[in-house]
Chains A and B, each alone.
Chain A
Amino acid sequence: MRRVYIALVLISLMVLVSIYSFVKVDEAHRYMTAQVDSIMQSVRDENLTLLDHQIDELTAYWNGTEDIIVHFVRHVQLDDIAKGIARLPILAEHNHDMLLAELSSIRWQIEHIWKSEIPSANSLF
């Protein structure tokens, strides 16, 4: 009977960890999507002061969040986002078309991570 209790405790712990990871990825997905959208809007509006500030915010947020979600998500996917974010300040200075492309790529990748976390027919099979 002791083993059954251990199994139940393990299942409870795993459910907690899963909920925690789900919440963290959800938070990251919501924030990143909104922030990327607003950066794209700033690019289209040519609002460079706000653009720099928003990119700094996105970078700071990602640096804090990546340390947490790296425990739940494959590192390759996160590395791709981190690489993209690292390119944003330079692209903001020199090439706004490339900046928009990079932002779209980041948006797609965070969306992909989020979709693969949601239990659905697509992510399961």
Chain B
Amino acid sequence: MLRTLILYVCIVFSVRVMGKRQLGELQPSELVVTLLISNIATLSIEDTDVPMLGSILPIFTLVSCEVLVSYLILKSNTARKIISGNPRIVIRNGSIDQTELRNLRWSVDDLNEQLRAGGVFNIADVDFALVETSGTLSIYQNFLKRPVTAEQMSVPQNEPNAPPATVIRDGELVKDALSFCNLRQEWLDNLLREKKLTIKDVFLLTCDRQAKYHLVEKEGRKKK
């Protein structure tokens, strides 16, 4: 059990060192590292005859290599092309590039599935589609099918462009949230007084920079 805990800490540390890129879409080298780490970690957990260092050293080696390769990819276009490959255009000017699809070993069904996942159900609506190096499909719809933007509609921006922030989460005040919303502590105190609540009684309070708020009380608490 202790070995498992130690390896758990090592793997969490490793994933943190690899960074948030790792937690999202995997590049080929990242996928390889992730698969290898999971396999290597189980060696020491399952077999107590294998020394802990026999798992920890390979894991840290892989993670270090991955970080250095990521850095190399960041700095060198050639390295990026070799290690991650290039995005491939599979729909160009509205027509499917069948050769490219064959090269990618994608069937028309695969393409349709990815288009549907991207919210496009008619292939004729697509001007360009690219298969990214991570394997996801990026879609550029033709002009008439693209969602209308506020700019195209000439709709003026009347409110500040900032999302609502969580001010109270499960009975605890979130640090810096009030200053993000340009609000003071007095505003929150007044709001809670008006609702006859304390911070502990609030399950969720979100608020934007116009002081528009959404308050959810905790269940099973009586108002004071």
Binding site for B on A (CB under 8 A): 3-4, 6-8, 10-11, 13-14, 17-18, 21, 70-76
Contact yes or no, B57 A74, CB < 8 A: no
Which A residues are in CB contact (< 8 Å) with B51? Answer: 70-75
Using an 8 Å CB-CB cutoff, how does the interface string of B54-93 with A read, 1 for contact, 0 for none?
1001001101110110110000000000000000000000
B3-41 residues with Cβ-Cβ distance < 8 A to A are 17-19
Contact yes or no, A7 B68, CB < 8 A: yes
Which A residues are in CB contact (< 8 Å) with B57? Answer: 14, 17-18
CB nearest neighbor in B for A9: B64
Contact yes or no, A74 B50, CB < 8 A: yes
Bound complex: CA A10 to CA B64 (Å): 7
Which A residues are in CB contact (< 8 Å) with B139? Answer: none
The 3 closest A-B pairs by CB, nearest first: A7-B67, A7-B64, A75-B49
Contact yes or no, A4 B48, CB < 8 A: no
Bound complex: CA A72 to CA B67 (Å): 25
Bound complex: CA A21 to CA B53 (Å): 10
Which A residues are in CB contact (< 8 Å) with B50? Answer: 74-75
Bound complex: CA A8 to CA B49 (Å): 30
Pick from B19, B48, B60, B70 the residue with the most CB of A within 10 Å. B60
Q: Is the interface of A mostly helix, strand, loop or mixed?
A: helix
Which B residues are in CB contact (< 8 Å) with A71? Answer: 51-53
Pick from B52, B53, B65, B71 the residue with the most CB of A within 10 Å. B53
Q: Total contacts A to B, CB within 8 angstroms?
A: 51
Contact yes or no, B68 A4, CB < 8 A: yes
CB distance from A75 to the nearest CB of B (A): 4
Bound complex: CA A11 to CA B64 (Å): 7
Bound complex: CA A72 to CA B49 (Å): 11
Bound complex: CA A13 to CA B50 (Å): 20
Bound complex: CA A17 to CA B61 (Å): 12
Contact yes or no, A4 B60, CB < 8 A: no
CB distance from B170 to the nearest CB of A (A): 32
Contact yes or no, B67 A6, CB < 8 A: yes
Bound complex: CA A20 to CA B17 (Å): 25
Which B residues are in CB contact (< 8 Å) with A6? Answer: 17, 67
Bound complex: CA A71 to CA B53 (Å): 6
Contact yes or no, A3 B19, CB < 8 A: yes
Which A residues are in CB contact (< 8 Å) with B71? Answer: 3-4
Contact yes or no, A75 B48, CB < 8 A: yes
Which B residues are in CB contact (< 8 Å) with A73? Answer: 51
CB nearest neighbor in B for A3: B67
Partner of A14, one of B17, B18, B61: B61
B112-163 residues with Cβ-Cβ distance < 8 A to A are none
Bound complex: CA A74 to CA B47 (Å): 10
Which A residues are in CB contact (< 8 Å) with B53? Answer: 17, 21, 71-72
Bound complex: CA A18 to CA B60 (Å): 13
